[in-house]
Structure 1
Amino acid sequence: MTTIKSVTEYLELIKGLEIKNNVFFRGHANENYVLEPGIYRKVKGDKTLVEFEDQIFREVVSKSPQEFVGKTTLESLALMQHYESPTRVLDLTENSLVALFFAVNKGDEDGEVIVFDIPDEFVCHYNSDRVTILSNIAKCGKEFNFNSRLVPFYRNKIDDLKSQKVEIEITERFASAYNQDISDFFILDERIARWIEAEKFELENIEKLYDEVRGNFEENKEELSGVNLKDFRNSFIDKLISIYKVAVSSSIKDVNYKHFGKLLHNIREDKAYFDSIIDPYDVSKVFAVRPKLDNPRIVRQQGAFLIFGIHEVQFTGFGDYKPMAELNKEWILKGFGEERILVDKDSKRLILEELEQLGINQSTLFPEVDKVADFVRRKYQNKL
């Protein structure tokens, strides 16, 4: 844990970080702040506003329609976030000094800056389909939830099978006579093709097929050797993978039919062309978003944000309202346990003054007239 007392100390610390992917920062004035978007923050005991999320969204838009004309759901959420309406997005910045400003701008407690290092796979631009999916959860009622059924099981099978494939060195290939025809060993090829075409993926059938082909392989493998044996093994695995891939596709269609009808309807308010296939994997994740730079505040703050999906439930129809997707703690480079950047509460005013000398203050980060006026008022009050 490091507690900084000046901008210089802070910049030295940031300069020493080893960034491997995409760096984002978040600053908050209280070190006890929990990394949860506003819609999931507790407001009364253990209660949150997520059960009213769709109503909050619709009501804000209906009462200020001129502010939301022509905006996508994501853009609307970003605007609501800036006006402190509870949403499923959490503000970030790509500027370390902006994050420091938010850590010292108010409060009588130690502040904190959290540093994220997020892989490319989970960083999206504003027009990403994944982001469109998650943002439109905001317009779904409290009863919206889902179970991905066998999709994860089939995907795990594919990953396991891929790990069983063997490498064939170029030297092995040249050294082999490679004149044996291994196609005869796939006596079940025609049956496999029929099953794929008919979309018969019941677990017991797949396992039965696996056992039959493996038995055939064991009986005849003595006739194969070297590269041919490896080729047979890899081809066999590829055929099983092809079955599981189609099984994944079929299961995703089933999840869409049973759970995602309303979500698809909402998405098509943004993208009329959107295909009726939503991967449940995407719904249950958190993504970092680089928004469209069409908002002066976003531009000045070099803003970005995390958007939270919902965690799947074991049984649909009851349980928590739209349970929050879990943030991947491995993304947090500084911010947990002993690896924290705290800002000394007694040094906040000094740091604010140092940041102002660097052009980071309320009037530069918040271009709205009321924010600028408030900054100027406080500036001259401090001269008294």
Structure 2
Amino acid sequence: MEKKSNVSVFYRGHADKSFLCQPSLFRDAGHRRHEDRLLMSLVATQPDAFSADSSTFERLVRAQHYSLPTRLLDISSNPLIALYFSVCGEPNADGEVIAFACEDKLVKFFGSDSVSILSNLAYLKPAERNVLRKNMKSSKDHFNSLSEVNRLVCFIKEEKPYFTAAINPADLSQPVFVKPKLSNRRIVAQNGAFIVFGLNKNLDSGFSEKFITVRINIPALRKAQILSELDRLGINEGTVFPDLEKSSVYIKSKYKAPLK
């Protein structure tokens, strides 16, 4: 995809092109139903790990880093990183690189009010989120009078005391591209960014009207060759996941004796 001025382009790679482009949270009904308990349980048991985080979005980023299902979808500003993820698994299936393009002004930073609104949906009960869904087409005044919205606003105010109850219900259905803090080595290594999802679990038509999507098929027969070529460019398991364990696994694999 050609990069035009005032346009941001992000990428995501799937090792199997049949994989849905949705956050890990939405792939399991139990996780989706107990989203609030997932996040609060992890923060409660590992408070020191989250002590530096000042917002729910930052907590979600950290939780995702440690494999907790969240409403965040990993993307990258580097197409080669997405290409790596499209070839590093599922050797018998075609992979896919998905490119997303949108105007720069539509990309949010980690401190955005829009990001805070969507992120704090994680603390609502399933029944509360259902009430919000049922009232998506109501007037803005009616929507903001709901007790469920007031509870959402309370969570938002914990990180943004100035915030007022003036949520546009339509905004809760629109996923948002977010540039995070470069707060861990993995985000830096992967040129990482996120799509934070609201009440819809898929990239709906309203989303695609604002963001152009291009899908590139990666043939299964080419995966091993592409993986080798990426390695020569310095993109491999040890650099994409720059923690000690992953680096050790990569180095071990490089010196493994061939099967006889």
Give, in angstroms, the shift of residue 264 of structure 1. Answer: 0.9
Residue equivalent to 1:90: 73
Contact 1:73 1:132 in 2 (8 A): yes
Q: Match of 2:34, SS? A: helix
Letter in structure 2 aligned against 1:326 = D
Give the distance between the partners of 1:66 and 1:256, measured in 2 at CA: 35
Residue equivalent to 1:29: 15
Change (3 A) 1:125 1:308: same
Give the distance between the partners of 1:64 and 1:342, measured in 2 at CA: 40
Residue 75 in structure 1 maps to residue 61 in structure 2: no
Letter in structure 2 aligned against 1:77 = L
Contact 2:64 2:70 in 1 (8 A): yes
Q: Deviation per CA, 1:177-209, whole angstroms, max 9, x where unpaired?
A: xxxxxxxxxxxxxxxxxxxxxxxxxxxxxxxxx
Residue 300 in structure 1 maps to residue 189 in structure 2: yes
Change (3 A) 1:118 1:370: same
**Of 49, 52, 61, which aligns to 2:43?**
61
Q: Deviation per CA, 1:323-358, whole angstroms, max 9, x where unpaired?
A: 6673623424312xxxxx111212212211111111
Give the distance between the partners of 2:137 and 2:106, measured in 1 at CA: 23
Residue equivalent to 2:26: 40
Residue equivalent to 1:138: 122
Residue equivalent to 2:213: 333
Give, in angstroms, the shift of residue 135 of structure 1. Answer: 0.4
Give, in angstroms, the shift of residue 272 of structure 1. Answer: 2.4
Unaligned runs of 5+ in 2: none
Residue equivalent to 1:276: 165
Residue equivalent to 1:368: 243
Q: Match of 1:288, SS? A: strand
Residue equivalent to 2:142: 254
Q: Match of 1:118, SS? A: strand
Identity %: 37
Higher-helix-fraction structure: 1
Contact 2:120 2:156 in 1 (8 A): yes
Contact 1:309 1:324 in 2 (8 A): no
Letter in structure 2 aligned against 1:298 = I
Change (3 A) 1:149 1:345: closer
Contact 2:15 2:96 in 1 (8 A): yes
**Of 108, 114, 126, which aligns to 1:124?**
108
**Of 97, 106, 122, which aligns to 1:113?**
97
Change (3 A) 1:70 1:378: same
Letter in structure 2 aligned against 1:133 = I
CA RMSD of aligned residues (A): 2.0
Change (3 A) 1:35 1:149: closer
Give, in angstroms, the shift of residue 382 of structure 1. Answer: 5.7
Give, in angstroms, the shift of residue 81 of structure 1. Answer: 1.6
- The size of the alignment, in residue pairs, is 249
Give the distance between the partners of 1:123 and 1:256, measured in 2 at CA: 25
Contact 1:28 1:102 in 2 (8 A): yes
Q: Deviation per CA, 1:237-267, whole angstroms, max 9, x where unpaired?
A: xxxxxxxxxxxxxxx3432121411101111
Answer with 1 or 2: which has the greater Rg.
1
Give the distance between the partners of 2:69 and 2:234, measured in 1 at CA: 29
Residue equivalent to 1:216: none
Give the distance between the partners of 2:107 and 2:18, measured in 1 at CA: 26
Q: Deviation per CA, 1:297-342, whole angstroms, max 9, x where unpaired?
A: 111110011111115xxxxxxxxxxx6673623424312xxxxx11
Give the distance between the partners of 2:124 and 2:197, measured in 1 at CA: 14
Residue 102 in structure 1 maps to residue 88 in structure 2: no
Letter in structure 1 aligned against 2:213 = L
Q: Which has the higher relative contact order, 1 or 2, with Cα contacts under 8 A spaced 6 or more apart?
A: 1
Higher-strand-fraction structure: 2
Q: Deviation per CA, 1:75-106, whole angstroms, max 9, x where unpaired?
A: 11111222221111111000000000111111
Alignment TM-score, normalising by the size of structure 2: 0.88
Q: Match of 2:99, SS? A: strand
Contact 2:178 2:193 in 1 (8 A): yes
Alignment TM-score, normalising by the size of structure 1: 0.61
Q: Match of 1:260, SS? A: helix
Residues 315-326 of structure 1 aligned to structure 2 (within 5 Å) = 326=204
Give the distance between the partners of 1:68 and 1:114, measured in 2 at CA: 31
Contact 1:113 1:342 in 2 (8 A): yes
Q: Match of 2:125, SS? A: coil
Letter in structure 1 aligned against 2:208 = K
Give, in angstroms, the shift of residue 119 of structure 1. Answer: 2.8
Residue equivalent to 2:229: 354
